Amino acid sequence: MSTRRDFLQNLTLGVGFTAVAQSLISPATASPAPSKQKPARKLRVAIMGLGSYGTRVAEAMEKCEMAELTGIVTGTPAKAEAWKKKYNIADKNIYTYDTVSQIKNNPDIDVVYVITPNSLHHKHVIQVANAGKHVICEKPLADNAKQAREMIAACNKAGVKLYVGYRLHFEPHTREVISMREGGEFGKIMFVDNTCGFKIGDPTQWRLKKALAGGGALMDVGVYNINGARYATGEEPIWVTAQEIKTDPVKFKEVDETITFQMGFPSGAIANCSTTYNFNHIGRLYLVGEKGFAELDPAFGYGPIKGRTHKGELKQPVVTHQTAQMDGLADCILNNKPDPNMTGVEGLKDMVVVDAIYESIRQGGKKINIAKV
C-alpha cells in the first residue's frame, strides 16, 4: 500500500533586530530570491518534535549554508541521545516539552521549528514566543483562524517572527510560475484547478484523531490547495462552497476523508480544488489565464516538482525543499530581507478559508463569504 511518504515523494534572531508585527504580504509577490551574500554566521535552529518530518528537516539542514541545527525539544530520552550523537548537539541545547521556557536564556538558539501534531501548534508556538525565540511552525498553522490569531498576537507581543513551513515558496518551479504570473505572462487569471491528497495508512495514527489533527485531509494537505490557489491567482478568495464525501465512516469517524471546494476571487477568477485521504496520484496545480497556462504536476509533494507552461517545459533546478526553505528563511532573517510569503499571517489567511470550508459543509454546501484578514 502507498504510504504518506510515497505520496509526498511521488507528488512529486536573537539576530539583532526587534521584530514588530510582520507585514501583510500579498501572495501576488514572489518570496525574496536567495542571496549569494552569506551572513556573518548561520541561523541557529532547534527542532521541536523529532518525528518523521522533523527528521526530514534535520537531514535536509545538513546541506544548509545559512542555517544549522543547534538544539532539540523532545519528550523521548532515547531520541535525545540519538540526535545528540548524530548532530553533535550540546547537552545544554536539549530540552523537553516541560523545559521549553528555559530556551529564553540560550544564545545558541535563534529560532524553534515546531514540528508536532497539528493541534499542538497553538500551544507550542505560544510557549516558544513566550521564551523570546522566533518560531517556524509546520502547516497547518493551527486548528482554526482564532487559534492562528492568538499565535500571531503572542509572537507580536514577544517581538519575535512567526513563519509557517510552506516549503514551496522557496521551490524553483513554483517560484517561476509565480513570477511569470506577476510578469503578466498568463494574462488575466481565469481559472485554477488543483488537487492534493493521498491514501492514508495506519488507522490508529494521530492524523485520524480530531483532538490531535484538528481535521482530516483538508487540514493536512488541503491547505496546499488553498495556498496554491492564492499564489496562482495572486488574490485572496472572497467566497467558498464545499462538499464532503465520506466512503469509510469507520476509519474517518473523526476527520474528513475527501473534500471538494470552489473559491471565487475578486477579479472573477475561480478555483476548483479537491483534497483526500482516500486515493493516491493526485497533486496537481493547473492555472489558466487569458494568454496562457501553467501546470505543475506533481505540484505539492517533495518533488521533483515538474511542470510546463504554454511556453514549454519548466526546467528549473531540482532542490531539496527543506534545505532551500531553511536557507531562504535564514537569508531573510540574517540579511534583514523582506519576509517570504510564509509568515504567520499567510498561515492565518489559509485558516480563515479552512474555517469557511468547514462552515459551508456544515450548511450543506452553502456559499460562504470570506472575511478579509
Q: Please give the residues from 205 up to 264 whose contact with ligand NAD meets the rule CB under 6 A.
A: 206, 212, 220
Residues 6+ apart with CB under 8 A from 219: 118, 140, 143, 213, 255, 354
Q: If binding is defined by CB under 6 A, does position 80 make contact with ligand NAD?
A: no
Q: Judged by CB under 6 A, does residue 34 bind ligand NAD? A: no
Instruction: Give min distance, CB of 67 to ligand NAD, in A.
Output: 16
Alpha helices in the chain, H assignment, sequence order: 4-10, 52-61, 77-87, 121-130, 145-158, 172-182, 210-213, 217, 223-233, 321-334, 344-362
Question: Could you say which of 42, 53, 133, 139 is catalytic?
Answer: 139
Single-letter amino acid, residue 238: I
Using rule CB under 6 A, residue 143 touches ligand NAD: no
**Three cell numbers written together for 371:** 472575511
Give least dist CB 35 to ligand NAD, A. 23
For ligand NAD, give the closer residue by CB, 205 or 363: 205
Tell me which residue of 224, 144, 145 sits closest to 192, measured CA to CA: 224
205: Cβ contacts below 8 Å, ≥ 6 apart? none
> Applying CB under 6 A, does 328 fall inside the site for ligand NAD?
no
Q: Which of 70, 118, 127, 227 binds ligand NAD (CB under 6 A)?
A: 118
Q: Does 167 bind ligand NAD (CB under 6 A)?
A: yes
C-alpha span between 318 and 9 (Å, rounded): 13
Of residues 224, 277, 302, 358, which has the active-site annotation? 224
Q: Catalytic: 224?
A: yes
Q: Is 139 a catalytic residue?
A: yes
Q: For residue 16, what are the contacts with CB-CB under 8 A and spacing of at least 6?
A: none
* Least distance CB 114 / ligand NAD (angstroms): 8
Residue 139 lies near ligand NAD (rule: CB under 6 A): yes
CB 241 within 8 A of CB 261: yes
Query: Which parts of this chain interact with ligand NAD (CB under 6 A)?
Result: 49-54, 75, 115-118, 120, 138-139, 165, 167, 206, 212, 220
